[in-house]
Amino acid sequence: MKPVTDIVSTVIKYLHRDDTLPLPQLRKLGLIYSSYRFIVSVFFMLMVYINARTDNSSLLPSFLQQTVLSFYVLLSLILLGLFYVVSKKMRRQLAFGLVLDVVILSLLLYTAGAPDLQLTMLYMVVVAASFMLLHSSQALIITLLAIIFVIYQQFFYAIANSMSLANLSDALLMSASFLAVGILSWSLSQRLVQLEKVAASHAREVERLNVINQEVITQMVNGVIVIDKQRIVLANLAAHQLLSMAHDPAAQDLSTAINNTQNDKRQALLHNFQQKLSKQHTQLLKACLSVASGQSRSFTYDLPAIANASVFGKLRVQITPLKDDSKLVILEDLRREHASAQQLKLASLGQLTASIAHEIRNPLAAISQASQLLMEDMAELDAKNAASDNQESSSSYLDMAGNHELYKMIFSQTKRVNRIIEDVLKLSRQQKANQQSIVLAEWLPVFLENYFKGHDVFLHVKTQLIISFDTHQLEQVLINLINNGLRHSSYAHPHAYVEIEVYCVDNDVIIDALDGGTGVKAEELQHLFNPFFTTDQKGTGLGLYLSQAFCEANQARLLYVPEHEKTCFRLIAPAVNSDIYV
């Protein structure tokens, strides 16, 4: 008995370990089977009355048949409505319905008064459905229940009425058929479950890859636009920023609008983006749409100047064909490429100038020291001459006094050359920008307090946006601009002052350094940021050049705005936004 017990326990464990359909699939199949039950019950009810009329019998179906069928129709309708409305404990509802099917079919067989093959075959559907919708242990119980009723109807009922064993083989064959159908249905259900799991796993993987792709596209420095059938279907944050499109707060959810519930919102935002693009960048949109399918094109696009901001630049546009006549448009900011080239140029220039500057400093230090010693000698001679009344020494002093101004000139010029060398060494020591997030509204007051306390430097901050910049290099840029402003403003007015205005235009943060000086002449504009160009005799001509190099190293721009009513140097840096949209 022990081996049989072990086999039975092993089978039970195996059946308990089986997988079942996921709830959405179970609900769908359950609704189909509940509808099938209701249709079959109504069909049975109609067929009983139709058969009674065709037999020309005045007798109605038996009371038991009417009661069973009425009860079956009513319960079938209740179970269908309950399964449709209530989504909890679906397997219990299905198990109750399947047991009901077996009981009703058995009662119908009993009321028929003789074995009915058609009714017996309906057991097959119940057995198959139980193995597909329920756990194997529950399905096995329902199958055994069906076998018991069939054997009773075809075997024991035959013995009780005619004492004939002729239907024994039919009953056993039918029972074996139930088990075979159950095993096949269970096998099919397990295959279906595995397929559902694989499909769900693939769907999750596709969704995960989609999220990763969305994140990668969103974080790209280059702008990405996808055009399908003359319609924009994707545009990332960089595309909005590079094209200076007005920021739409609702667009920050576009990157997550990847399911059907958010599809309408996504389409609306993309349509809004295309409309803005057609208004502000008509030339670019026409060029992208006019490229024939299957062809590639690359060109440079000049961004239109924006009023009050002087924001202008160039983009490299690369159009690549995709499948199904779609087009991939890549927007690359040439400022970054220019900044990289500038970094290479500064690096090579720095190596040369550093060696030259060190060689110049040695003789320069000797000249400076000699001029200081000569001035000290003049000071001693001045003291001796004041203490002596010798006419001869006085005439000698007067001869040498003329040289004192020459010595002072030599010393001042050596100091100027030394400042130039210091600036050149700063240029040669320039390292890669260590960019940090800077909240200008908090950083600028501290900066002015540290470097320009006591000077009339007025700060006006109109934005809370953040920029990414090397703090040391930003300090050097602003120190140069403010010192230049204070110096040139003092030439035109007795009261020197500088105003610093910070505001935002589209996706750029603007820092204006304003002063009341006479400004830059038109003929000097083209040389303004060249090295060693200066309009001030005391200047070295490297301040603006270094400031522009620092800005370009941080993907920002420094320019002079001649249209402004005051002398205006403008620093334009891209804003750092946490909003992400695709």
For residues 329 and 370, state if they share a domain: no
Kindly tell me if the per-residue pLDDT of 2 is higher than 70.
no
Kindly tell me if the per-residue pLDDT of 232 is higher than 80.
yes
Indicate whether 293 belongs to any domain. Answer: yes
Indicate whether 90 belongs to any domain. Answer: yes
For residues 455 and 357, state if they share a domain: no
**Identity at 447, one-letter amino acid code:** F
User: Among the three residues 389, 407, 428, which one is the final residue of a domain in this structure?
Assistant: 428
Kindly tell me if the per-residue pLDDT of 171 is higher than 50.
yes
Q: Which has the closest alpha carbon to 290: 230, 234, 235, 331?
A: 230
DSSP assignments along 470-530, one per residue:
-HHHHHHHHHHHHHHHHHHHHHH-SS--EEEEEEEETTEEEEEEEE-S----GGGGGGTTS
d(CA 395, CA 381): 12
Q: Which has the closest alpha carbon to 109: 154, 62, 53, 66?
A: 154
For residues 462 and 394, state if they share a domain: no
Q: Which SS3 state, helix, strand or coil, does residue 536 take? A: coil
For residues 403 and 516, state if they share a domain: no
Indicate whether 212 belongs to any domain. Answer: no
Q: How many domains does the chain have?
A: 4
For residues 227 and 276, state if they share a domain: yes
282: CB partners within 8 A, 6+ apart: none
User: Are the CB atoms for 533 and 527 separated by under 8 Å?
Assistant: yes
Q: Which residues of 239-249 are buried (b: 16+ CB within 10 A; e: fewer)?
A: bbbbbbbebee
Query: Where do we find the tokens 């190596």?
Result: 351
Indicate whether 213 belongs to any domain. Answer: no
**Identity at 66, one-letter amino acid code:** Q
Q: What is the pLDDT of residues 520-560, one digit of tens each?
A: 887 777 778 777 777 766 666 777 888 888 888 888 888 88
409: CB partners within 8 A, 6+ apart: none
∠ CA 567-504-480, rounded to 5°: 40
User: Are the CB atoms for 315 and 212 separated by under 8 Å?
Assistant: no
449: CB partners within 8 A, 6+ apart: none
Kindly tell me if the per-residue pLDDT of 249 is higher than 50.
no
Helix (H) or strand (E) holding 141: helix 136-151
For residues 362 and 265, state if they share a domain: no
Tell me how far apart the 2 most distant CA atoms of the chain are, in Å.
Answer: 169
Three-state SS sequence of 270-331? HHHHHHHHHHHCHHHHHHHHHCCCCCCEEEEEECCCECCCCECCEEEEEEEECHHHEEEEEE
Q: What pLDDT does 259 receive?
A: 40
Q: What pLDDT does 347 receive?
A: 66
Mean pLDDT value across the chain: 75
Q: What is the pLDDT of residues 507-517, one digit of tens each?
A: 788 999 998 88
Q: What is the CATH number of the domain that holds 241?
A: 3.30.450
Burial of 479 (0-12, 13-18, 19+ CB in 10 A): middle
Q: Compute the Cα dihedral for 173, 174, 178, 181 and give only its sign.
A: positive
User: Among the three residues 409, 428, 447, which one is the final residue of a domain in this structure?
Assistant: 428
Three-state SS sequence of 191-215? HHHHHHHHHHHHHHHHHHHHHHHHH
Q: Compute the Cα dihedral for 284, 290, 291, 297 and give only its sign.
A: negative
**pTM value?**
0.48
Q: What pLDDT does 500 receive?
A: 92
Say how many C-beta atoms besides its own lie within 10 A of residue 320's C-beta: 14
For the chain, state the CA radius of gyration: 46
**Identity at 75, one-letter amino acid code:** L
For residues 193 and 273, state if they share a domain: no
Pairs from 530-534 (Cβ < 8 Å, separation ≥ 24): 532/420
Q: What pLDDT does 579 receive?
A: 42
User: Are the CB atoms for 299 and 317 separated by under 8 Å?
Assistant: yes
Say how many C-beta atoms besides its own lie within 10 A of residue 98's C-beta: 25
Indicate whether 527 belongs to any domain. Answer: yes
User: Among the three residues 428, 450, 475, which one is the final residue of a domain in this structure?
Assistant: 428
Which structural domain, as residue segments, surrounds residue 505?
436-576
d(CA 137, CA 123): 18
For residues 143 and 9, state if they share a domain: yes
For residues 95 and 127, state if they share a domain: yes
For residues 176 and 38, state if they share a domain: yes
For residues 324 and 342, state if they share a domain: no
Indicate whether 106 belongs to any domain. Answer: yes
Indicate whether 357 belongs to any domain. Answer: yes
Report which of residues 293 and 259 the model is more confident about.
293
Indicate whether 176 belongs to any domain. Answer: yes
Q: What is the CATH number of the domain that holds 563?
A: 3.30.565.10
Report which of residues 484 and 246 the model is more confident about.
484
| Band of residue 569 on the pLDDT scale cut at 50, 70, 90 | very high
User: Are the CB atoms for 440 and 502 separated by under 8 Å?
Assistant: yes
Mean pLDDT of 78-93: 85
Q: What is the pLDDT of residues 432-468, one digit of tens each?
A: 677 888 999 899 999 998 888 888 889 999 888 889 8
d(CA 281, CA 276): 8
For residues 163 and 83, state if they share a domain: yes
Q: What is the pLDDT of residues 98-132, one digit of tens each?
A: 888 888 888 887 776 656 667 777 888 888 888 88
